[in-house]
């Protein structure tokens, strides 16, 4: 775990790199930058944050997602690394989180029908735990409050089949003591919209909706309604979460530099 977490720390230090940079990513030898950007989450109060992300390709096959998430109110700054195989299936994840003001190292590893999770303090005191989460028949790994890891689902969506397609999730929060096991997301492709940008270029946005259902401590479930937008290369562009109630509220995140696309779809 120490080696993977060390690689996470050094790898995230490459944040802000642009495609074409001759960057050597520590811990991911020979990797090439596939995509990078910043997701800005606004109008969400306590949900406000920025997520700097990088998708890398490994020379032997497979992918790595690195992200650093900073709360808008300065209450936390957490980092995560997600390792995926050549088919974009989750293998493992490592994170540096913050529980009640204590820094923790989090490691999640696929082991057959389970995900083994280790949470350890990286300083004196802190939090220690070894939860195990179900991963049947298959699952993606998430570390909340990361949102860019959720966009991997679109790469598995079967467009020829269409309709709502269910994906399973397992996760560990980086900013609070919580393990998610048994979560699902029913993803539906809504459509593709061409949008003319300033300068005359045309960008095609793909629109997805999904309902995320998660178990609660009382034995029931609760759901959140999401919308996601990507380009045709599956690059994350934006998302919107709907919270139901007498007056529904929304949390919206959009990729910096593509605000004109957000305005075009009314997100």
pLDDT value at 111 more than 50: yes
Rounded Cα gap, residues 215 and 137, in angstroms = 17
The per-residue pLDDT for range 211-249, each reduced to its tens digit, is 998 887 777 888 889 999 999 999 999 999 887 766 667
Residue 5, pLDDT above cutoff 80 = no
Count of domains observed in the chain: 1
Residue 44 has pLDDT above 80, yes or no: no
Taking the complete model, does pTM exceed 0.75, yes or no? yes
Residue % of the chain over a pLDDT of 70 = 86
pLDDT, tens digit, for every residue of 136-176?
Answer: 888 999 999 999 999 999 999 999 999 999 999 999 999 98
Give the domain extent around 148.
2-265
Which residues contact residue 201 at a Cβ distance below 8 angstroms, ignoring those fewer than 6 apart?
none
Q: Could you tell me the end-to-end alpha-carbon distance of the chain, in angstroms, rounded to an integer?
A: 40
Any idea what DSSP says for residue 129? B
How far CA 192 is from CA of 95, 142, 206, 265, 266, in Å, comes to 34, 26, 4, 11, 15
Rounded-to-5 percentages of helix, strand, coil across the chain:
10, 50, 35
* Per-residue pLDDT at 205 exceeds 90: yes
Whether pLDDT at 22 is above 60: no
In this predicted structure, the answer to whether residue 12 has a pLDDT above a threshold of 50 is no
Q: Which residue has the higher pLDDT, 24 or 98?
A: 98
Q: Residue 215: what pLDDT?
A: 80
Instruction: Show Cβ contacts of residue 100 under 8 Å, excluding neighbours closer than 6 positions.
Output: 127, 177
Q: Please tell me the predicted confidence (pLDDT) of residue 125.
A: 65
A 10 A CB-CB count for 221 gives 12
How far apart, in whole angstroms, are the C-alpha atoms of residue 97 and residue 146? 12
């Amino acid at each position: 775990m120490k080696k993977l977490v060390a690689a996470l720390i050094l790898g995230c230090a490459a944040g802000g790199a642009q495609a074409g940079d001759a960057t050597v990513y520590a811990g991911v030898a020979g990797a090439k930058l596939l995509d990078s950007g910043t997701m800005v989450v606004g109008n969400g109060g306590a949900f406000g944050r920025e997520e700097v992300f990088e998708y890398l390709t490994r020379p032997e096959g497979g992918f790595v997602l690195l992200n650093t998430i900073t709360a808008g109110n300065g209450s936390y700054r957490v980092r995560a690394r997600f390792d995926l195989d050549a088919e974009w299936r989750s293998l493992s994840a490592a994170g540096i989180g913050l529980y009640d003001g204590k820094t923790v190292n989090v490691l999640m590893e696929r082991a057959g029908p389970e995900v083994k999770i280790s949470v350890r303090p990286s300083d004196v005191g802190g939090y220690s735990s070894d939860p195990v989460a179900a991963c049947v028949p298959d699952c993606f790994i998430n570390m909340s409050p990361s949102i860019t890891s959720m966009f991997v689902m679109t790469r598995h969506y079967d467009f020829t089949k269409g309709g709502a397609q269910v994906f399973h999730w397992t996760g560990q929060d980086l900013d609070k003591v919580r393990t998610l096991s048994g979560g699902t997301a029913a993803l539906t492709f809504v459509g593709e919209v061409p949008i003319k940008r300033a300068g005359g270029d045309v960008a095609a946005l793909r629109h997805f909706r999904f309902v995320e259902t998660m178990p609660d401590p009382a034995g029931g479930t609760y759901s959140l309604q999401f919308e996601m937008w990507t380009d045709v290369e599956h690059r994350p562009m934006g998302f919107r979460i709907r919270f139901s109630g007498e007056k529904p509220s929304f949390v919206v995140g959009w990729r910096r530099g593509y605000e004109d696309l957000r305005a075009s779809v009314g997100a």
